[in-house]
A and B are shown apart, each in its own frame.
Chain A
């Protein structure tokens, strides 16, 4: 009895801590006048309109979404053949590439960002929009690599065996058995990479920060000139997109399994 009560209280405290800054930002974003007061004075959704109507904010939004779409696609394109090879073949040295795929995510992001800055500056492409897409794809390749590895590990090998016995070669097995089975993992890998790329600041800043503004860069630049309700509206927008995407993954897939709760299907 008291245990349940204590647990509820503890959960409520953690939830409050995680939600508090977002609630304040939500409150600030509906202020009627251009000031940041909380509780908000008046009510207006015009700051949300600003994201789409103001040319500067809109171009930042478009840049961010295009960047995230391209980067996530490239990340999956790198991760898929690698994960497939690691699953299909016994080649211990190929694990080196798996480690390379995981490294950018474990190391502090500043390091990867600085690596890209020196690389693109040396190669002479510094500031081009596509360099940011490649940089993000490499930085976030970890996510599809992890979800796809999980997906391949979940394939019942006897299914593949059966297809092979019936005369299917590697290509047919891949298209008719393997790809349909790992499609959900591919989609979630893409979605993870997309959301994180949308939110990423330091790598985008160090690669294209002086030629292109993504939403996080735009918010950071705007921070220096004072706070506006539009920034709060954009932040709320970000939280909503992330919650929507992860909510969809949870709705259609098993997010607990994706996050490592393997073998808990019984519960």
Chain B
């Protein structure tokens, strides 16, 4: 049975349920959110229908500019750290036996599926004064007294790298598996050291993959909504945290929606960029 175009209306039947569900529960909510971003805030309820651009005008404040700048900077840092750690790691992983690979993949998936709540809780425990890592340092005599390592920028960055690292490995994994092993063999035969072969052959050959992964991890990190709140101070809050805060605690749905629309535009632009990079790779 070859693939064939649908001939009768009945051939479309399987598509009805998925199409209906995705339209009603994804496209419609999305459209409502865009509409709400132009509505007026109603302190008593959710919003009043209207058409105002005030919610977007608030972007022009220096406070919002600061939050946006910080969110982007943090996401760039997280993406850079993750790719720097994950790329050599994944490269080495695909050279391991099937069994070792399977164990690692199960472990990475388990960490990746963890709730941000749990990751936040775990790191805030690890960084705390009472149960933290500094107790170990005191025990071995490296420190005089245990101290809290949070809240702070370092804690936020560590937590977010932890959250995004398994994701980075799993994004890189298929690309690195497809890498032609003869490339590396050729470099080694010609006398390059393993490190030299890695940096002069593997990294340039996968340049586009690295760029695409950086962007994917960047978008992933932009979505982190709890870690900056649990591990950082208010000045470490990102756009995602601010959206949650405005929607739930300040009950300002229209402003939250406007920020979300803005975040969608940034993310979509970056995903589009990734697709373009990927296309160039397959064309080359």
Beta-carbon contacts of A194-236 to B below 8 Å, as 1s and 0s? 0110011110011001000000110110010001000110010
Smallest CB separation, B91 vs chain A (Å): 10
Do residues B125 and A36 form an inter-chain contact, with CB atoms below 8 A?
Answer: yes
Do residues B33 and A259 form an inter-chain contact, with CB atoms below 8 A?
Answer: no
- Asked if A119 is at the interface of the complex by the 8 Å CB criterion, the answer is yes
Kindly state the interface size class of chain B when it binds its partner. Answer: 35 or more
Cα A44 to Cα B106 in complex, Å, equals 29
Do residues A21 and B22 form an inter-chain contact, with CB atoms below 8 A?
Answer: no
Residues of A within 8 A of B33 (CB): 111, 114-115, 118-119
Do residues B29 and A119 form an inter-chain contact, with CB atoms below 8 A?
Answer: yes
Q: Summarize B's interface: helix, strand, loop or mixed.
A: helix
- Asked if A43 is at the interface of the complex by the 8 Å CB criterion, the answer is no
The tally of residues in A whose CB lies under 8 Å from a CB in B reads: 100
Do residues A219 and B102 form an inter-chain contact, with CB atoms below 8 A?
Answer: no
Which among A104, A115, A250 has the highest number of chain B CB atoms within 10 Å?
A115
Stretch at the interface among B57-65, B201-209, B239-247: B239-247
Do residues B114 and A199 form an inter-chain contact, with CB atoms below 8 A?
Answer: yes
Residues of A within 8 A of B105 (CB): 246, 250, 255-256, 259
Residues of B within 8 A of A18 (CB): 107-108, 111, 162, 165-166
- Given contacts A11-B92, A18-B166, whether A216 and B222 have CB atoms under 8 Å apart is no
Residues of B within 8 A of A7 (CB): 92
Beta-carbon contacts of B165-203 to A below 8 Å, as 1s and 0s? 110001001100110000000000000001000000000
Smallest CB separation, B74 vs chain A (Å): 13
Which among A35, A91, A94, A107 has the highest number of chain B CB atoms within 10 Å?
A107
- Asked if A70 is at the interface of the complex by the 8 Å CB criterion, the answer is no
CB-contact partner of A25 in B122, B135, B268, under 8 A: B122
Residues of A within 8 A of B152 (CB): none
Residues of B within 8 A of A5 (CB): none
Cα A170 to Cα B225 in complex, Å, equals 46
Do residues B1 and A119 form an inter-chain contact, with CB atoms below 8 A?
Answer: no
Q: Which residue of B lies closest to A237 (CB)?
A: B118
- Given contacts A107-B267, A220-B117, A259-B173, whether A21 and B126 have CB atoms under 8 Å apart is yes
Do residues A87 and B18 form an inter-chain contact, with CB atoms below 8 A?
Answer: no
- Asked if A38 is at the interface of the complex by the 8 Å CB criterion, the answer is yes
9 more contacts with CB within 8 A, not counting A121-B46, A138-B21, are A24-B125, A110-B244, A112-B29, A199-B113, A209-B248, A223-B120, A235-B121, A259-B105, A267-B98
16 intermolecular pairs with C-beta atoms under 8 Å apart: A22-B111, A79-B18, A85-B18, A94-B15, A101-B22, A109-B223, A110-B243, A114-B260, A141-B22, A199-B113, A201-B117, A217-B117, A220-B226, A242-B109, A250-B106, A260-B177
8 closest A-B pairs by CB: A260-B174, A108-B223, A119-B29, A21-B122, A115-B29, A38-B131, A82-B18, A81-B14
